[in-house]
Amino acid sequence: MMALTAHVVAPNATIRAEVLAALRRAGVTPVPDPHESPDTVVVTAVDTVHEALTACPSRPTTQRTLLVADRFSPTDVVRVLRSGTLVMLRFADVTPSRLAAAVRAARDGEVRLPHEVLVGVLGGSGTPSQAETSRAAGRSPLTPRQTRVLALMAEGQDNAMIARSLLCSNHTVKNVIYDMMARLQVRNRAHAVACGVATGLI
């Protein structure tokens, strides 16, 4: 398994030390150079998303990033997403397993947002277009299992975690997700979750 490495950016030494300790507990190796490897994830730890936008230096678009914060303004979240940071985690939700999963998701180019943050974005400038919502309203409803998988995806669970939650195999989860995305006519996991929230499926 490929080792996880991360470089921490924080506004003060106390927050930086806390995040470094959390990364080590999660089995992630902190590195002093954000360019240590193409797979190194830059973890920005701040109080608000706005602080990340104003205080942290810009990153190359190819740099994998993870944002850890306490407060998420929908407008600022949209700006951060557009800047290339696709994975976010609340400080209150930081556990070794969740932090490792978030770093891995950022490294792999996935999109992962706390459910309430996603709901906030969809209620603001990130709301899907009327045409997209209208198409969603006419789609076939999901099966109970597909709805459950979609809800777990919205919580940020990967396929292995979903399989453990549902007591089934990874292969079964992949098949459920494939069929669910075909029914929703969506491009990826983040689009599926956004569609699910916007149309009341979850």
Is residue 119 assigned to a domain?
Answer: no
Report d(CA 67, CA 90) in Å as an integer. 8
Is residue 78 assigned to a domain?
Answer: yes
138, burial (CB in 10 Å: exposed 0-12, middle 13-18, buried 19+): exposed
pLDDT tens by residue, 1-46:
578 999 999 988 999 999 999 999 999 999 998 887 889 999 999 9
**Residue 134: pLDDT band by 50, 70, 90 thresholds?**
very low
Last residue of a domain, which of 82, 114, 146? 114
Quote the pTM value: 0.62
In this prediction, residue 61 carries a pLDDT of: 56
CATH of the domain at 38: 3.40.50.2300
